[in-house]
Structure 1
Amino acid sequence: MAHFIKKAASISSISLISRILGMIRDAIIAFIFGADTVSDAFFIAFRPFDLVRKIMSDGILSSSFIPLFAEQFAQNKKEQAAAMFLNALFFISIAGALMVGLGIYFAPFWVDLFAPGYGAGSYSHTLSCLLFRIMMPYMFIVFFVALSMSVLHASGNFHVPAATPVLLNLCIITAAVIFSNQFTPKIAVLAIGVTAGGIVQLAFQIPSLAKLGMFDFKTFVRVNPHVKKAFITLGPSMIGAAAFQINLLVAGLTASKLDPGAVSYLNYAERLVQFPLALVASPVATVLLPMLSAMAGTRCLKPGKPSGGVPRFNFFDQTEETQDLSLLFDAGIRMVFFLIIPATVGIIALNRPIVLLLFGRGAFDLTAVDQTGQCLVFMILGVWAVAGTRLFVAFHYALSNIRQPFMAGVVSIGCNVLLCRFFVERMGVTGLSLSVSLSAVAGFILLAASRPFGIRGRGVLVCACRAVFMSVIMFFLVRWIWGLWSDSSRIIQAAGLVISISIGAGGYLVGTRLTSNPEMVMLTRIFLKQK
């Protein structure tokens, strides 16, 4: 367990750098382009690429290929893994090239699909088509990058894939800061930065793949049964693993029919919501899926012995650990809730100051700050459910169980479609954020209710309740501390925000340590190497 937590923490530290750069990137975009028709056009055009990137790296290919790759690596069958990789790359290359050609030719159709509120021939529609065509080569690249990430994760290499988003953010930042005045329209520089970033990401991963022997073309076969099985599960895997991203896409489509800026408000709120997810849920799920898949592949799971019946578990005994998948999952989800619940409460307490200090300058006016802050509050309410869903999906997919996540995804997406239409008429763009949160909760409840392989829901629920109790105390503490700085200058407010967050986080950790919270005790033992 110590090995598992430390790997997740290592990925989280790299993700922190990526998210900081992502915040800088979004702050620069907000400063230069604000939240209006132009920025909406970019976010509309970028949304399908961002969606495909996330569901490919975090959802479809990972969930479909990692269990199969991990089984080959666990059994030391690298030649079979290379054969799988080359066969998958062959089909992905054909599909990617075809998709790029069709995307460029049918760009107006895709913009109509993703932005039904943009009339054909309007400036917003024309600009979105231009940006979509510029970024279309990135679609081909993202398939290759996602496949390589799956191979590296399955082989135990988590650092190289975790660093690739850093390169994308650096490319977009460089393009916006240095070259924004050299293009007409200026916003086109962001689309060029996205495509350039994809090329850099791909080049960064190729050496690691070569080191694993994935380019052994002697192993290539036209049809690989494992790859065929993985591709068959792509559709259901997408629904199960990417329901949250699909719901955000639906919300963005609805927002395109509202006043200018609505799409941007949702986008900036989503970026802030992704911050705790990237630091807590994604690293745990990233490490959990290949570890569980390898354990299942080496027959460590004993169907005749339900995991819930194991009375005691030593977090530091890896022999005992590998005998029970559900105990590893149980520890992972408890750790995620222990960390993500206070992060959620902290963002709710400081939503407007965070938005103001990150984006509130240049073309991003106070109206945009208020609207983004409100969207953030409603969207962050469901982040715990999104985090829990990611871990449940990883657990099911590691055991090649696609049906349950698929059904949960269908329920979540269906709820979102209905709730978006209901809330947008009553609350506007903030109602779309609330719809996404409630839909995430609905999907999580369905997954949690199944409790596969004896997962002990009572222990997870108790952990969540403890975290909520301490987080409520932290909420009032943070709000009181921020009140001391709220009327000061912008620089003093920035310092006050950092101090408020630091004291809130420190108070939460100290409080959980003084009350002997099991998750805090486990973290302390692991990182202090106590026995």
Structure 2
Amino acid sequence: MTHFIKKAVSISSITLISRILGMIRDAVIAFIFGAGMVSDAFFIAFRPFDLIRKMMSDGILSISFIPLFAKQFAQNKKDQAVAMFLNALFFISIAGALLVGFGIYFAPFLIDFFAPGYGAGSYSHILSCLLFRIMAPYMFIIFFVALSMSVLHAKGNFYVPAATPIVLNLCMITAAVLFSNRFTPKIAVLAIGVTAGGIVQLVFQLPSLARLGMFDFKAFVRMHPHVKKAFIALGPSMIGAAAFQINLLVAGLTASTLDPGAVSYLNYAERLVQFPLALVASPVATVLLPMLSAMAGSGCLEIGKHAQRRVEFSFLDQTHGTQDFSLVFDAGVRMVFFLIIPATVGIIALNRPIVLLLFGRGAFDLTAVDQTGRCLVFMVLGLWAVAGTRLFVALYYALSNIRLPFMAGLVSIVCNVLLCQFFVQHMGVTGLSLAVSLSGIIGFVLLVASGPFGLRGRAVLVCACRAVFMSVIMYFLVKWIWNFWTDYSKIIQAAGIVISIGAGAGCYLLAAHLTSNPEMAMLTRIFLKQK
């Protein structure tokens, strides 16, 4: 039972490096460009690429591709798996090239859509078009990298895909620090860094694919039936698995009609919300999807297989086989909630100090710090629901059930559009963050309400309530400790934030240990490298 959690922890360790670099990247951008018209133009131009990148890194293509691809290997049909990859690569190459040309030619119309508040011919509109065209080739690279990631995940190689974003962050940081004064406008260097980073990402994954024998072109076929099936499912899969990202896009569109800086406030708040998601929810969902898909392909996945057993479940119980997907999935959900809930409460407790520490320097003034901190509080309220949604989407797609995630995602998106229009009139840009959180919660509730029989919903609920109780205690401790550091210099405050976070984490983990929390016992075994 601990096997897939250990893999998730390993992925999370690599992702931590990537996210730290991502925070450094955002801090560099905030320092050099601040939060205003120029930074808004870049984030508007980068938004569609970032949206597709996050969708793919969260496994959107994997969701439709892995279940069919993994079944080929589970049934010892490697030649068919290679044929699937080459056929998918053929169509992705054609689609990517067309999208690049389409994006370059129709950039003004696309910016009109992504930034309805920018008037045609304005400096913001012209700058956004320029940046969009520079980054257009990155769209082709995203699809190739996503396909590569799907293949590697299906074969149990989670480490190379997890390390790939590190390359992009390094390229953007290098471009901003070393070359920002050599371009006019300066912000163009970020767009060039994105495209260059994408090329390096692509080269980084090619050796792993070659070692798997994926470039055996003798196996190529013009149309593979499983590829056709995967691409047909891709659209609904996108709605089901990427509702959160689409909701953020809608919020960004609405923010472009507000005062300059609103788009940047949302963007920086989203970056901070993505940090715990990438470290906790994404690794577990990444490991669960190919594992459950392979179980389905070998015919050993049964809903509620051990539902009649009256044995108290424990993470340390080795009598159950991992072929009972309900126990595996239950372990993943409980572990994610055990970690994501205190992360949410910690961010709420220290929202403004964290924003001030990471971004509050250079061109990023105190007004930007306050607005970003408010957006962060409202956006993080739905963090637990977004994390839970990723796990349930992985479960449904492993069971080849596309309809339920699609319907839940569609309802979430519609609710977000309506809530954005309502809250923006009363709360401004912070209302957009609240709309994203509430719509995410609605989508998650719909997924859980339609969950398969055999899942231990009561055990998950007990785990969540227990985590909330311990997190509330942690909240007051963190706030109390932070009050001792508020009147000092930024360097001392940075140490205070680290001490406050460390004390809060220690308090939470100690409480979990003293209450014999099974999730804590699982983490202890993993980090002590016990079997």
TM-score band w.r.t. shorter chain: over 0.9
| Contact persistence 1:266–1:372 (CA under 8 A) | yes
CA apart distance, 1:320: 3.2
Q: How many residues align?
A: 530
Match of 1:284 in 2: 284
- SS of the aligned residue for 1:300 comes to coil
Match of 2:151 in 1: 151
Are residues 1:139 and 2:126 paired? Answer: no
CA apart distance, 1:450: 1.1
Are residues 1:486 and 2:512 paired? Answer: no
Are residues 1:193 and 2:209 paired? Answer: no
Supply the distance in 2 between the matched residues of 1:520 and 1:314 (Cα, whole angstroms).
Answer: 11
Q: 1:189 to 1:318 in 2, by over 3 A?
A: farther
Match of 2:461 in 1: 461
| Contact persistence 2:59–2:286 (CA under 8 A) | no
- SS of the aligned residue for 1:221 comes to coil
| Contact persistence 2:315–2:518 (CA under 8 A) | no
| Contact persistence 1:59–1:242 (CA under 8 A) | no
CA apart distance, 1:306: 4.4
Q: Deviations over 1:150-209 (max 9, x none)?
A: 000000000000000000000000000000000000000000000000001000000000
Instruction: Tell me the TM-score normalised to structure 1 length.
Output: 0.98
Are residues 1:448 and 2:442 paired? Answer: no
Bigger drift between 305-314 and 218-227 goes to 305-314
Supply the distance in 1 between the matched residues of 2:283 and 2:4 (Cα, whole angstroms).
Answer: 10
Are residues 1:99 and 2:99 paired? Answer: yes
| Contact persistence 2:302–2:325 (CA under 8 A) | no
| Contact persistence 1:359–1:369 (CA under 8 A) | yes
CA apart distance, 1:478: 0.3
Match of 2:34 in 1: 34
- SS of the aligned residue for 2:361 comes to coil
Q: Which amino acid aligns with 2:375?
A: C
- SS of the aligned residue for 1:89 comes to helix
Are residues 1:411 and 2:421 paired? Answer: no
- SS of the aligned residue for 1:454 comes to coil
| Contact persistence 1:59–1:238 (CA under 8 A) | no
CA apart distance, 1:55: 1.4
Match of 1:310 in 2: 309
Q: Deviations over 1:207-235 (max 9, x none)?
A: 00000000000000001011010011011
Supply the distance in 2 between the matched residues of 1:528 and 1:225 (Cα, whole angstroms).
Answer: 46
CA apart distance, 1:57: 2.9
- SS of the aligned residue for 1:463 comes to helix
Match of 1:43 in 2: 43
Alignment of 1:356-375 (within 5 A): 356-375=356-375
Supply the distance in 2 between the matched residues of 1:256 and 1:451 (Cα, whole angstroms).
Answer: 37
Match of 2:437 in 1: 437
CA apart distance, 1:314: 6.5
Are residues 1:162 and 2:162 paired? Answer: yes
CA apart distance, 1:76: 3.0
CA apart distance, 1:79: 1.5
How large is the RMSD of aligned CA atoms in angstroms?
1.2
Q: Which amino acid aligns with 1:434?
A: L
Match of 1:214 in 2: 214
- SS of the aligned residue for 1:452 comes to coil
CA apart distance, 1:69: 1.5
Supply the distance in 1 between the matched residues of 2:262 and 2:268 (Cα, whole angstroms).
Answer: 10
CA apart distance, 1:258: 0.1
| Contact persistence 1:37–1:261 (CA under 8 A) | yes
CA apart distance, 1:58: 1.7
Supply the distance in 1 between the matched residues of 2:317 and 2:68 (Cα, whole angstroms).
Answer: 26
| Contact persistence 2:84–2:224 (CA under 8 A) | yes
Q: Deviations over 1:36-88 (max 9, x none)?
A: 00000000000000111111232421100011121122233221111000000
Q: Which amino acid aligns with 2:309?
A: V
Are residues 1:348 and 2:348 paired? Answer: yes
| Contact persistence 1:315–1:321 (CA under 8 A) | no
Alignment of 1:4-83 (within 5 A): 4-83=4-83
Supply the distance in 1 between the matched residues of 2:150 and 2:488 (Cα, whole angstroms).
Answer: 48
| Contact persistence 1:289–1:394 (CA under 8 A) | yes
Bigger drift between 318-327 and 107-116 goes to 318-327
CA apart distance, 1:451: 1.9
Q: Which amino acid aligns with 2:107?
A: A
- SS of the aligned residue for 2:116 comes to coil
- Identify unmatched segments of 5+ residues in structure 1: none
Q: 1:319 to 1:142 in 2, by over 3 A?
A: farther
Q: 1:318 to 1:401 in 2, by over 3 A?
A: farther
Supply the distance in 1 between the matched residues of 2:315 and 2:512 (Cα, whole angstroms).
Answer: 19
Q: Which amino acid aligns with 1:431?
A: G
Q: 1:434 to 1:257 in 2, by over 3 A?
A: same
Q: 1:317 to 1:482 in 2, by over 3 A?
A: closer
Q: Which amino acid aligns with 1:459?
A: A
Supply the distance in 2 between the matched residues of 1:421 and 1:493 (Cα, whole angstroms).
Answer: 38
CA apart distance, 1:352: 0.3
| Contact persistence 2:292–2:301 (CA under 8 A) | no
Match of 1:183 in 2: 183
Supply the distance in 1 between the matched residues of 2:275 and 2:341 (Cα, whole angstroms).
Answer: 13
Q: Deviations over 1:484-511 (max 9, x none)?
A: 1111111100011001101110110011
Q: Deviations over 1:435-474 (max 9, x none)?
A: 0000000000000111213212111111000000000000
Q: 1:122 to 1:6 in 2, by over 3 A?
A: same
Supply the distance in 2 between the matched residues of 1:46 and 1:478 (Cα, whole angstroms).
Answer: 36
Q: Deviations over 1:126-166 (max 9, x none)?
A: 00000000000000000000000000000000000000000
Q: Deviations over 1:73-123 (max 9, x none)?
A: 223322111100000000000000001001100000000010000000000
Bigger drift between 68-77 and 503-512 goes to 68-77
CA apart distance, 1:296: 1.0
Instruction: Tell me the TM-score normalised to structure 2 length.
Output: 0.98
CA apart distance, 1:530: 4.9
Are residues 1:129 and 2:122 paired? Answer: no
| Contact persistence 1:389–1:447 (CA under 8 A) | yes
Q: Which amino acid aligns with 1:468?
A: V
CA apart distance, 1:519: 1.0
Supply the distance in 1 between the matched residues of 2:93 and 2:318 (Cα, whole angstroms).
Answer: 40
CA apart distance, 1:307: 4.3
CA apart distance, 1:302: 3.0
Q: Deviations over 1:13-45 (max 9, x none)?
A: 111000000000000000000000000000000
